[in-house]
Structures are given as C-alpha cells and as structure tokens.
C-alpha cells in the first residue's frame, strides 16, 4: 500500500517504518506474526484506535487469523482502573519483573476481535519493559496456538471409542473362535482397525506435538516473569492453569489412548497371527502326510505295474520262442523264457521310472 519493499523469499524477519511506528514481520514454523509498535492514543487505554495502525477496521489478514492482540503500555501515573477495562469474571493481573510492571488481561476479544493486554509501568528503568511486553504477547499467541490441539482431540475421540469398542468385541470372539477361516476373518477385522487408528494417529501427531511444545513455551515464559498476585487478583499462571491445562490434558489423554490402543491392537494381532500360523502348519502337516501316503501307494502300484507288464511281456516272448521251436530252431523254449524274465523286469522298471521322472520334471 505504501510502496515499501517486502521481505525476501528466504527472510524470516523484516522490519519497516509504518504509520509513525515500526511494522515487524516474523515467519515461524507454522505461522506468521505481524507486530506494529506505535504511539499510544491519548485518553483512557483501549478507548481509541492508535493513529497510523495498519490493523484498523479495514484490515484483512493475508491468511487465516489465529491470534489478534492489542497491548497498551501506560505509566503508573495515568491512574487507570483495570476493573473498568476488563471483565472481572476472567480478569488476571500480576506484578512482573520484580514489581516494576503490572500486567492485566481478561483473555477476551473486544469488538475488533483483539485480546486486550494492559501493562502499567511503575519503573523509572524502561530497559526491560520491551522484553516483558514481548513475552506477554508470546504467552497469548502460544496460548491460542496450543488450543488448536483441542478440536483435533475432539475430532479423534469418536474414532478412538469406536476402535476400542470393536477391539473389545474381537477380543471376546478370539476366546471362542476356532478354525482357520474364522481366525483369518478376525485378523482381517483387526488389521482394518489398526489401519484406521494409524491414520488418525498420523493425522493428529503433529498437532498434538505442536500443542505440547507451545504449552512448554508458555510455562517457560510465565516462569521468567516471576509474577506475584496484584491486589488479590488471579495471576496469569493460575488463570491458564484453570483454562489451558484441561485442554492440554485432553490432548495428552487422547494421544495416550492412541498409543495404548495401538499396543493392544498389536498384541491381539500377534495372538491371531500365531493361531493362524498354527492352523496353517497343522494343515500343511496333514497335507504332507497325505502326500506321503499317496507316494507310498504310488510306489506300490508302480511295483505291481512292473510285475504285471513284465508278466505279459514274458508271456509274449514265450510264445515267440515256442513258435521258433516249432519252426525247427534248436531252442529250449522254457529255458529261454525263464532267462528273459530278469531282462524284461529290468527294461520295464527302467521305462516306468523314465515315464514317472518325465511327468514329475525330475531326471
């Protein structure tokens, strides 16, 4: 809009003058922040829009807007009453930086969709004020980013309940199932449940991990404040413990349920695979025994076949010798017939062996 150069493609931090202040752009792992530092308007905090702010009513975010925060820094001499600026039901106010600052917010969005934070400076040494304000903005940013895991946990909950119920039913069927077909059917159902669970776990793993990391950052930032209650009001840490920790615990519980359910599915699958393998081994053993019996029977039949064929061949040879004797050849047909028996048996046995080897593919 103002003709200023934007950040380069590989830049993660960019600052430029804007509206009498400084507009800072930062690229993070999964989000981008825009921060404008400018002069506070006169009068009561949050009463007027800062002059020159790029985040007025006409502002349109370049992407999905997750967090919008307005922080007003005022001197203690201003004498503002925080009870008039925030909702008392959710007001959190603390002394931070050794009591030099008072930080107050109700974590509620105003009419412009911004969470308001008031920082009252009671110190004559402003060097640490900027760092403290930055930490307060980060707490609000990471609070809402951490809460992104809650909708994912709520989305995964019905799927996890369905898988748990089905697994319980399959486990009950495993106790009474018998036979290869029944166990294979159960294993197929169990494998489908495991696949459904892994799809959900893979889809939610990044979101849950990111929420856990953001929650740890919030804890670190609050610890760095060393906050103390201001005028008996709830501290930021105490408020977030009531509002943020239940959501984080829901995410942690959902992730633990996914991990435990995955282990249970794996154990049930191992049990079923073992039973299927035992059934297959039993079938293979029975098949091998049947094949062995058939092989022995075949050898017996082959032996009988050799004897029968040899008997008929020797008979034919005997007829030949008798005919030759009748033709006047000096032959002893009985002796010649007996002498041909070993040769005929050997030839027939060899031929049968060759035929069997040809059909079995073994020479």
For residue 298, is it within any domain? yes
Q: Which residues contact 18 (CB under 8 A, 6 or more apart)?
A: 2, 4, 36, 52, 54
Structural domain harbouring 217: 149-286
* Residues forming beta bridges with residue 13, ordered by sequence position: 26
Tell me the C-alpha distance between 149 and 210, whole Å. Answer: 8
200 with 264, same domain? Answer: yes
120 with 37, same domain? Answer: yes
For residue 131, is it within any domain? no
312 with 276, same domain? Answer: no
340 with 271, same domain? Answer: no
For residue 2, is it within any domain? no
Least Cα distance to 129 among 68, 55, 86, 72 occurs for: 72
Per the structure, how many domains does the chain have? Answer: 3
Domain stop point among 244, 268, 286: 286
SS3 102: strand
Q: Tell me if 229 sits within 8 A of 301, measured CB to CB.
A: no
For residue 25, is it within any domain? yes
The Cβ of residue 223 has, within 10 Å, a number of other Cβ atoms equal to: 10
108 with 32, same domain? Answer: yes
**Residue that is written with structure tokens 């154990």 in the block:** 267
Q: Could you read off the pLDDT tens digit of each residue along the chain, which spans 363 residues?
A: 677 888 888 889 999 888 888 999 999 888 999 999 988 877 788 888 888 888 877 778 888 999 999 999 988 877 788 888 888 888 999 998 888 899 999 999 888 888 999 999 887 666 778 888 999 999 999 999 999 999 999 999 999 999 999 998 888 888 777 777 788 888 888 899 999 999 999 999 999 999 999 999 999 999 888 888 888 888 999 999 988 999 999 999 999 999 999 999 998 888 888 877 777 777 777 787 777 777 777 666 666 677 777 777 777 777 677 777 667 666 666 777 677 778 877 877 777 777 777 666 544
Tell me the C-alpha distance between 147 and 149, whole Å. Answer: 5
Tell me the C-alpha distance between 343 and 308, whole Å. Answer: 15
161 with 252, same domain? Answer: yes
């Amino acid at each position: 809009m103002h003709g200023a150069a934007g950040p380069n493609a590989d830049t993660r931090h960019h600052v430029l003058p804007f509206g009498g202040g400084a507009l800072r752009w930062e690229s993070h792992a999964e989000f981008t922040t825009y921060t404008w530092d400018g002069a506070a308007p006169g009068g009561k905090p949050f009463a007027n829009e800062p002059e020159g702010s790029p985040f007025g009513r006409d502002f349109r975010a370049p992407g999905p807007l997750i967090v919008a925060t307005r922080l007003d820094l005022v001197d203690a001499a201003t004498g503002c009453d925080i009870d008039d600026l925030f909702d008392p039901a959710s007001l959190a106010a603390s002394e931070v930086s050794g009591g030099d600052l008072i930080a107050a917010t109700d974590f509620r969005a105003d009419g412009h969709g911004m969470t308001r934070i008031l920082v009252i400076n009671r110190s004559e040494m402003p060097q640490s004020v900027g760092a403290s304000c930055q930490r307060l903005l980060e707490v609000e940013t990471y609070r809402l980013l951490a809460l992104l895991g809650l909708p994912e946990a709520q989305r995964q909950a019905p799927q996890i309940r369905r898988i748990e119920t089905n697994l319980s039913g399959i486990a009950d069927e495993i106790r009474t199932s018998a036979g290869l077909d029944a166990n294979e059917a159960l294993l197929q159902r169990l494998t489908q449940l495991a696949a459904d669970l892994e799809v959900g776990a893979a889809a939610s793993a990044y979101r849950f991990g990111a929420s856990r990391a953001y929650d740890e950052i919030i804890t670190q930032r609050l610890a760095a404040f060393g906050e103390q209650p201001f005028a008996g009001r709830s501290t930021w840490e105490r408020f977030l413990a009531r509002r943020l920790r239940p959501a984080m615990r829901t995410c942690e519980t959902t992730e633990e349920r996914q991990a435990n359910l995955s282990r249970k599915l794996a154990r049930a699958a191992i049990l079923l695979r073992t039973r299927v393998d035992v059934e297959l081994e039993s079938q293979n053993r029975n098949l091998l025994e049947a094949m062995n019996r058939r092989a022995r029977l075949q050898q017996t039949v082959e032996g009988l076949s050799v004897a029968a064929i040899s008997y008929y061949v020797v008979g034919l040879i005997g007829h030949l010798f008798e005919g030759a004797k009748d033709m006047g050849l000096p032959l002893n047909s009985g002796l010649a017939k007996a002498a041909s028996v070993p040769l005929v048996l050997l030839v027939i046995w060899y031929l049968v062996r060759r035929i069997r080897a040809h059909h079995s593919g073994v020479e």
